[in-house]
Amino acid sequence: MNNDGFLPVCAEDLRSRGIDQLDFVYVIGDAYVDHPSFGPAIISRVLESRGYSVGIIAQPDWKDPESIRVLGEPRLAFLVSAGNMDSMVNHYTVSRRHRSRDSYTPGGVMGKRPDRAAIVYCNLIRQTFKHTPLIAGGIEASLRRLAHYDYWDNAMRRSLLMDCGADLISYGMGEHSIVEVADALAGGLAVSDITFVPGTCFKTKDPQAASEAVELPSWEQLQSDPKEYAKSFAVQYRNTDPFHAKRLAERYDTVWVVQNPPAKPLTTMEMDDIYALPYQRRAHPMYDSMGGVSALEEVKFSLVSCRGCFGGCSFCALTFHQGRIIQSRSHESLLEEAKLLTQEPDFKGYIHDVGGPTANFRQGACAKQTVKGACPDRQCLFPGPCPNLRADHSDYIALLRKLRSLPGVKKVFIRSGIRFDYLLADRSDAFLRELVKYHVSGQLKVAPEHVSDRVLKMMGKPQHRVYLAFTKRYYQMNRELHMDQYLVPYLMSSHPGCRMEDAVELAVYLKGLGYMPEQVQDFYPTPSTLSTCMYYTGLDPRTMEEVYVPRDPHEKAMQRALIQYRDPKNRELVEEALRFAGRTDLIGFGPDALIRPLGEGRGSGGSRPAERRKQRIASGGNRPEDHRKQGASSGGSRSGGQKKKTIRKVHKSKK
């Protein structure tokens, strides 16, 4: 087994390379995959490129302190990441049921990392190495850096810094901040004095450090009143841009957790340098006999062309993690990586994706964004495109043409999300034409999420008429090019703001199209999203107006069943939902009916009368204090960048 190209993972690796002591030991919750789609691989290679030695402890046995000792004590610091996903999202469905498979673990085996992995790993290290600097990062620490609502506890949780024993959190993408922290430690600065690095959080008992920051509601206030969390979240949301964000402070009795402003976005040259580092582009050979790491297969032949997203969807955490400013790689960088893909022995000629959070964002939303930042109090695309928006796909088109022309490349697909309102804002049809002609594999996946404008407003999505305009142009372009390709919409049930009548409206729309989704995404309240704040508080933090929140498990089940109204097992739930919404006109034999009537007394909602259930939901389902007593409905998850396939076949009878 040749491990020479990988970073050290055991004492034998250290001996073979003549390393007495590593500069950094990186403890991660995923298997060790040395590929630029995996955050720990990027951070490790960036540190290595700056002259620091790094070793990897992947998925240690958190019940055994010896598992943390295998690479010895690092000279500068331990680094910790729960992995590419929040460990709770990785482990549990929206119904809080255990998932059966972990795609970031060899063979898909579950149970190789603990719940709340960042906290567990940090505390394990701290018990063993009392004084070694400890820095937490990755998506879990990043989105839990301040007090947050936790869906699995159904309560507020403190900043991760207060529970994990780490000295610092490196939040966001981390390349700039981790290098600055590493240089400070190497220069002899104590970790307690590293309070100045953008993109980090620290804790302090010094009131002076907190006095220079915008003070958020205290932990005591957050515990006492959900409205205080809505206020806190609104301040945090307005301070996610590195150009004008303020330092924030959150008090816990005599301790403050202080968040420095975000790190500056990477330049194109910096992005190119990072993706040109010597990744092995595969999982460590120690996993070969275990079945490999399936998460790698999803991205192995894909290209990350950009970071950041100015789309501003309420249920997405990208604003808090990658930010709204688009960062792009050069054509040359992407072409070089594409050539590496063509040299892989199992490459079949197909590049699976060229994109990022949103595939067709290759430049800042406007001319000023990359030098002055994103506007703190307005969105680029919501409720409609900003007058300053630059909707131009010419650079993306040129890139795709170059990739298509590479020797050995048969087809280049686009499977990242396409923002259809941005596409419509482009006065040219050139990108839509090339998309349809060259880059769709029979089905184009898009995310309208809903059809009710009331719900879409809460989601931060464009009005339904915008999606209808896009579908019209998409199918028209297919006809012009003599193509026969479908649209596959992602849909979400039970989002804050969605009442039963909205769910019925969606079902009627699907009836008109003549198909039923195979899977439906129930809204999943994950840390640090605007929608999660709405779910917990019952308030829209942007306006502080009340928002209806479907929390009752049975109500959520009815909303979900409506989207799959043709499934026989949903029959009684659908009838109950229609009666609940006062839409018994949709029960019958006519062409507009969703379901046919059953015999007298059938389908009334089971053992509990529908009217009594309706009264209970109406009286208690929207109070923040009540939802601690409730569970959640079943459904999949699209969190952490993993979107589930929603529809297998889509009929175009009414396009």
Collapsing DSSP states into helix, strand and coil, what is residue 565?
Answer: coil
What are the residue ranges of CATH 3.30.750.210 in the chain? 301-441
CATH 3.30.750.200 for domain 444-655, yes or no, is yes
Whole-number pLDDT of residue 172: 94
Whether cis (ω within 30° of 0) applies to the bond prior to 265 is: no
Report how far residue 287's alpha carbon sits from residue 102's, in angstroms, rounded to the nearest whole number.
14
Q: What sign results for the dihedral spanned by CA atoms 386, 390, 391, 396?
A: negative
456 exposure class (CB count in 10 Å sphere: 0-12, 13-18, 19+): buried
Tokens matching residue 286: 């120690």
Question: Which residue positions in the chain have pLDDT lower than 50?
Answer: 1, 600-608, 620, 623-624, 626-655
* CA distances (Å), origin 393, targets 423, 425, 443, 546: 8, 10, 21, 39
Collapsing DSSP states into helix, strand and coil, what is residue 56?
Answer: strand
Report how far residue 9's alpha carbon sits from residue 15's, in angstroms, rounded to the nearest whole number.
11
Q: For 142-285, where are the E strands, in sequence order?
A: 148-150, 155-157, 168-170, 200-204, 214-215, 248-252, 255-259, 282-283
Interacting residues of 419 by C-beta distance below 8 A, sequence separation 6+: 311, 358, 360, 361, 381
Sole residue written with tokens 């943390």? 68
CB distance 175 to 274 below 8 Å: yes
DSSP state for residue 522 in the 8-state scheme? E
Collapsing DSSP states into helix, strand and coil, what is residue 78?
Answer: strand
**Minimal CA–CA distance to 29: which of 127, 142, 122?**
122
Interacting residues of 43 by C-beta distance below 8 A, sequence separation 6+: 26, 79, 81, 137, 174, 175, 178
Collapsing DSSP states into helix, strand and coil, what is residue 98?
Answer: strand
| Tens digits of residue pLDDT in 226-236 | 999 999 999 99
Report how far residue 496's alpha carbon sits from residue 459's, in angstroms, rounded to the nearest whole number.
8
Would you give the end-to-end CA distance of the chain in angstroms? 55
Report how far residue 9's alpha carbon sits from residue 72's, in angstroms, rounded to the nearest whole number.
11
**Minimal CA–CA distance to 460: which of 445, 471, 447, 444?**
447
Tokens matching residue 629: 């007593």
Task: Give the class (CATH, top level) of 301-441.
Answer: alpha beta
**Minimal CA–CA distance to 164: which of 145, 183, 180, 148?**
145
**Cβ neighbours of 192 (radius 10 Å):** 12
Q: Any idea which architecture 11-200 has in CATH?
A: 3-Layer(aba) Sandwich (3.40)
What are the residue ranges of CATH 3.30.750.200 in the chain? 444-655
Interacting residues of 335 by C-beta distance below 8 A, sequence separation 6+: 402, 403, 406
Report how far residue 184's alpha carbon sits from residue 172's, in angstroms, rounded to the nearest whole number.
19
Q: Is the pTM of this model over 0.95?
A: no
Report how far residue 184's alpha carbon sits from residue 400's, in angstroms, rounded to the nearest whole number.
41
178 exposure class (CB count in 10 Å sphere: 0-12, 13-18, 19+): buried
